[in-house]
Amino acid sequence: MDISVVIPLLNEEESLPELAQWIKKVMDQNNFSYEILFIDDGSSDNSWKVIEDLGKENSNIKGIRFQRNYGKSAALNVGFEATQGNVVITMDADLQDSPDEIPELYKMIKEEGYDLVSGWKKVRYDSKWAKNIPSKFFNWTTRKISKIKLHDFNCGLKAYHSDVVKTIEVYGEMHRYIPVIAKWAGFLRIGEKVVIHQKRKYGTTKFGWNRFINGYLDLISIMFVSKFGKKPMHFFGVGGTLSFFIGFVITIWLIIQKLINMAYNIPYYRQVTDQPLFYLALLAMIIGVQLFLTGFLGEMISRNSPERNKYIIRAKNNF
Ligand code: UDP
Ligand code: MG
């Protein structure tokens, strides 16, 4: 099979028929063998019914239905596992991404040898303050941290070599950082293609302001797990030694000060343990180290949990 199209969706019943038809048209024109995988991420509207009906007309259209809303990353992860195509395309269900981009993306993976090609919505049709400006900032930080030269990390329209989707794992809100995850998994040929972006035709956006906070926390998690996941001591060792050393030096210094004062009979007004500096230094260090350690341990535990990618699947269609 040439292409698998993975489409996560949450309450997008109006868009689905149009989207499916458009993709089919593009696939037929280019003689691609394909499958469309709709992952219904716990929709409460008629999306699943629509997917079943589409599947009756066209057996290339398959569906997976979650028992509840697990999030876009979970939907992508489950979709990735099910794909059979040599090239995997992801796109949003809301008709903001154009299926006309598929042949060119396919070519970039198949002929130009890219592992991953990310769409770049150079011209965006979203609200300026809620989306465009925050997303510029988000992309800038991610670019700096990951050293991947992409303009638009979070674009829903992406193409992958099937090796990539079978290797990487996305959960939480990590769909925003798939290029980063792929890079750290060793897929270095990451490309970009300017894609056409359209106004949302039906329904409303499913992501609010909290995506920024969650998004950044996920970036930090990815950074830590990939950098220090297998050698936490390199990180904690350095930080721990340093903070212990600083605390130790301050304490010694306070004691020596006191001894000098005693030796020369200089009157001193405070005990070592009576000085705010002493406590502030200790307190800040202990709290910092502890918070960090807790977060990191939590991340390690969740990474190792065999349950982390278990999603209850309510139904499947055309498999
Ligand atoms: N989506 C999903 N699960 C969620 C939220 C969103 O599968 O919990 C899907 C949604 O239906 C759409 C895609 O992810 O197909 C992108 O969402 P949206 O268009 O709302 O994001 P925006 O374009 O506003 O960033
Ligand atoms: Mg959208």
pLDDT tens-place string over residues 135-180: 888 899 899 989 999 999 999 999 999 999 999 999 888 899 999 9
* pLDDT reading at 133 higher than 90: no
Which H or E run contains 122?
none
- Over 80: is that where the pLDDT of 302 sits? no
Ligand 1 atom showing the smallest separation from residue 70 Cα:
8
% of the chain at pLDDT higher than 90:
59
Residue 61 or 272, more confident: 61
Which pLDDT belongs to residue 119?
97
Burial class (CB in 10 A: 0-12, 13-18, 19+), 266: exposed
156 Cβ closer than 6 Å to some ligand 1 atom: yes
H or E, element range at 15: none
6 Cβ closer than 6 Å to some ligand 1 atom: no
Ligand 2 centroid distance, CA of 285 (Å):
43
Q: What is the mean pLDDT of the chain?
A: 90
243 versus 33: the higher-pLDDT residue is: 33
| Mean pLDDT score, 45-57 | 97
Per residue in 220-272, pLDDT tens?
888 887 777 767 777 777 777 788 788 888 888 888 988 998 899 888 777 87
The pLDDT assigned to 230 comes to 67
pTM over 0.85: no
Rounded to whole angstroms, how far apart are CA atoms 242 and 244?
Answer: 5
Paired with 193 in beta bridges are 119
81 vs 243: which has the higher pLDDT: 81
Ligand 1: atom nearest CA of 39 is: 7
User: 210-228 and 133-146 helices cross at what angle (nearest 10)?
Assistant: 0
Q: How far is the CA of 293 from the centre of ligand 1 (A)?
A: 33
Which pair of tokens denotes residue 302? 């969740």
- Ligand 1 contact, 10 CB (< 6 A): yes
**C-alpha to C-alpha distance for 88 and 33, rounded to whole angstroms:** 12
Check residue 218 and give its pLDDT.
84
Q: How confident is the model at residue 106 (pLDDT cuts 50, 70, 90)?
A: very high
pLDDT tens per residue across span 189-224: 999 999 999 999 999 988 877 777 887 888 888 888
pLDDT: is 62 or 282 the higher one? 62
The response to whether residue 92 sits with its C-beta less than 6 Å from ligand 1 reads: yes
Ligand 1 pocket mutation, candidates 40, 92, 98, criterion most atoms within 8 A of CB: 92
Q: In sequence order, what are the residues at sequence separation of 6 or more whose Cβ sits closer than 8 angstroms to the Cβ of residue 49? A: 13
Question: Looking at 86-90, 108-112, 118-122, 226-230, which range is the least confident one?
Answer: 226-230
Predicted pLDDT at 178: 95
Ligand 1, residues 40, 206, 207: which to mutate, most atoms within 8 A of Cβ?
Answer: 206
Higher pLDDT, 123 or 129: 123
